[in-house]
A and B are shown apart, each in its own frame.
Chain A
């Protein structure tokens, strides 16, 4: 699988959210999208997932535009996890995960597997509106896992923003496993340290422009990120000799 973004521009009235973005990524990798607030991360992800029509430019998956596909056909190629989910009815978490199989046919085994993966199998009968923010976020991730086809595209908008440390680790491992099965995983991540740990490739946005793109180990440094976010950053080394990005 190959994703190619060419000359992408998105405008909301007079506001330009994305300015001439050109980038590409290959299947089997984790791409982290980083950037300050309002830098265009969510808009870029929505364009990549085929949920938003850009003002100009193209997003091509294996040479074909996702926007031209019927949502049913697109659902078999792309799974999407929003920053926060909305559910209007009185659904259980299991039912919300089952909706991921809407276009692909029911699969109780895939649903159970997805719920177990995000540590929700024993809480699957909780009503959505009574679930915590973290449970809701894990449910959205489980829905995408139940929907995803290995070798497809998995797009996640801040998938760990409501999770505790243990579940951040679980989700990181899941994303790594998806990539190892050939998926192209693209995630907007606010936690820069997590992004450095997770990403094979990074796209860094600022004011709607792609200011850095490439192999994460090469481009994510205290200097480059400090400049983008407008803060002082530095490496710190722990007792095991591992480097961590810190804000002194």
Chain B
């Protein structure tokens, strides 16, 4: 590892630790007063859970985005380009509708709906994007967009059919938010999935480097592209699904984190896998910190709004900097 990389890693991990510490300390009273104090033991769980959730979701989306950008040969690819979020959204909407009209509460209804919707969307994208030589990146982007549009239309139909109250709950889910309560076991399992996914992508790092060549060149140096693309599709989708299960559709983290890691580390994909995970986690913990600090007088904003808003500006800045305009 080069000295520059060691320095960047130390800075990234220190900033992440500082942001996590800030998340635990930021306190806003009912009257809206802001203070920085260590929380009472009764409340600390309500801060530790969202903090770890932000690390896990941010890491999952960052690594998933990196995998998909290689898979789709598209620097603008993100976990949502494959129709996963709109599929999950449709599933959540359907589960809410069933609960409402049947008058029954489905245990973990939102989660089951999100996972089922995401799986159906991904399977559709996979089956429709398969050609003779395995998954075709261009077809996959097009099919992903079409599946998103179809699921979006389904969501609008269901929204039209449900009463106003449910529309509000669904809109909140669509914005993406970090949970304040979740069992540590569940967080641990989902965190473990993200760690395994990150390690797998890091292990495949040299293959990802070679896959940045054209198809013919990558094959000629020894990469089995159909197999690599299937593995990338599977692992990136599972990681994105972990993000949806915990926090709903959080925008922009999966798009920006890999670019941020590339900019900071300027390295191969083995290191970028870990870099994307850390930058993703950092972005989401930062956004959650900012959410605690902001007071618009109407309660705290869903974290997804901040990632979209801040992320959009940061991405524009990166884009303009890349074109030498900033």
Which A positions have Cβ atoms within 8 angstroms of B? 46, 49, 51, 70-72, 74-76, 78-80, 82, 85-91, 95-96, 99-100, 102-104, 140, 143, 147
Partner among A51, A72, A74, A85 whose Cβ is within 8 Å of the Cβ of B213 = A85
* Known A-B contacts A71-B222, A99-B221, A102-B206; A89 and B212 likewise in contact (beta carbons under 8 Å): yes
Task: Name B133's closest neighbour in chain A (CB-CB).
Answer: A53
What is the predominant secondary structure among interface residues of chain B facing chain A? helix
In the bound complex, residues from chain A placing their C-beta under 8 Å from that of B209 are: 89, 91, 95, 99, 102
**Inter-chain contact B210/A99, CB cutoff 8 Å:** yes
* Known A-B contacts A85-B214, A89-B209; A102 and B221 likewise in contact (beta carbons under 8 Å): yes
* Chain A proximity mask over B141-156: 1 for CB below 8 Å, otherwise 0: 0000000000000000
In the bound complex, residues from chain A placing their C-beta under 8 Å from that of B213 are: 85-88, 96, 99
- Interface check B217, CB cutoff 8 A: yes
A217 to B155, CA, bound (A): 71
- Interface check B216, CB cutoff 8 A: yes
Separation in Å of the B285 CB from the closest CB of chain A? 27
* Known A-B contacts A89-B209, A102-B210; A147 and B221 likewise in contact (beta carbons under 8 Å): yes
**Inter-chain contact B214/A79, CB cutoff 8 Å:** no
A75 to B219, CA, bound (A): 8
11 CB < 8 A contacts A-B: A46-B216, A51-B219, A74-B220, A74-B222, A75-B220, A78-B220, A82-B216, A85-B217, A88-B213, A91-B212, A104-B222
Partner among B212, B216, B223, B269 whose Cβ is within 8 Å of the Cβ of A80 = B216
Task: Name B69's closest neighbour in chain A (CB-CB).
Answer: A88
* Known A-B contacts A88-B212, A91-B212, A95-B209; A103 and B217 likewise in contact (beta carbons under 8 Å): no
Separation in Å of the A87 CB from the closest CB of chain B? 6
A75 to B207, CA, bound (A): 14
A19 to B210, CA, bound (A): 33
- Interface check B224, CB cutoff 8 A: yes
A83 to B269, CA, bound (A): 26
* Known A-B contacts A90-B266, A95-B268, A99-B213; A79 and B224 likewise in contact (beta carbons under 8 Å): no
Chain B, range 279-293, C-beta contacts under 8 Å to A: none
Q: Can you add 19 more A-B contacts, CB < 8 Å, to A71-B224, A103-B221, A103-B222? A: A49-B220, A71-B223, A72-B222, A72-B224, A74-B222, A75-B220, A80-B220, A86-B217, A88-B70, A88-B212, A89-B212, A90-B266, A91-B212, A99-B213, A102-B206, A102-B207, A102-B209, A102-B222, A102-B223
- Interface check B262, CB cutoff 8 A: yes
A74 to B262, CA, bound (A): 32
- Interface check B167, CB cutoff 8 A: no
Chain B, range 185-235, C-beta contacts under 8 Å to A: 206-207, 209-210, 212-214, 216-217, 219-225
Interface centre among A49, A89, A102, A103 (most CB of B within 10 A): A89
A143 to B212, CA, bound (A): 14
A91 to B225, CA, bound (A): 20
- Interface check B73, CB cutoff 8 A: yes
How extensive is the interface on chain B, given as a class?
A: 20 to 34
In the bound complex, residues from chain A placing their C-beta under 8 Å from that of B214 are: 82, 85-86
Task: Name A144's closest neighbour in chain B (CB-CB).
Answer: B220
A100 to B223, CA, bound (A): 11
Task: Name B75's closest neighbour in chain A (CB-CB).
Answer: A88
* Known A-B contacts A90-B262, A90-B266, A95-B268; A51 and B212 likewise in contact (beta carbons under 8 Å): no
In the bound complex, residues from chain A placing their C-beta under 8 Å from that of B225 are: 71
In the bound complex, residues from chain B placing their C-beta under 8 Å from that of A90 are: 262, 266
A76 to B213, CA, bound (A): 18
Separation in Å of the A152 CB from the closest CB of chain B? 12
Task: Name A101's closest neighbour in chain B (CB-CB).
Answer: B221
Separation in Å of the A183 CB from the closest CB of chain B? 15
* Known A-B contacts A88-B73, A90-B266, A95-B268; A100 and B221 likewise in contact (beta carbons under 8 Å): yes
**Inter-chain contact B262/A75, CB cutoff 8 Å:** no
In the bound complex, residues from chain A placing their C-beta under 8 Å from that of B269 are: 89
In the bound complex, residues from chain B placing their C-beta under 8 Å from that of A70 are: 224
**Inter-chain contact B219/A71, CB cutoff 8 Å:** yes
A103 to B224, CA, bound (A): 11
**Inter-chain contact B222/A80, CB cutoff 8 Å:** no
Task: Name A128's closest neighbour in chain B (CB-CB).
Answer: B212
Task: Name B132's closest neighbour in chain A (CB-CB).
Answer: A53
Interface centre among B210, B217, B221, B268 (most CB of A within 10 A): B221
A85 to B213, CA, bound (A): 7
A91 to B17, CA, bound (A): 31
A85 to B116, CA, bound (A): 41
In the bound complex, residues from chain B placing their C-beta under 8 Å from that of A103 are: 221-222
Task: Name B226's closest neighbour in chain A (CB-CB).
Answer: A71
**Inter-chain contact A51/B220, CB cutoff 8 Å:** yes
In the bound complex, residues from chain B placing their C-beta under 8 Å from that of A87 are: 212-213
In the bound complex, residues from chain A placing their C-beta under 8 Å from that of B220 are: 49, 51, 71, 74-75, 78-80
A143 to B217, CA, bound (A): 10
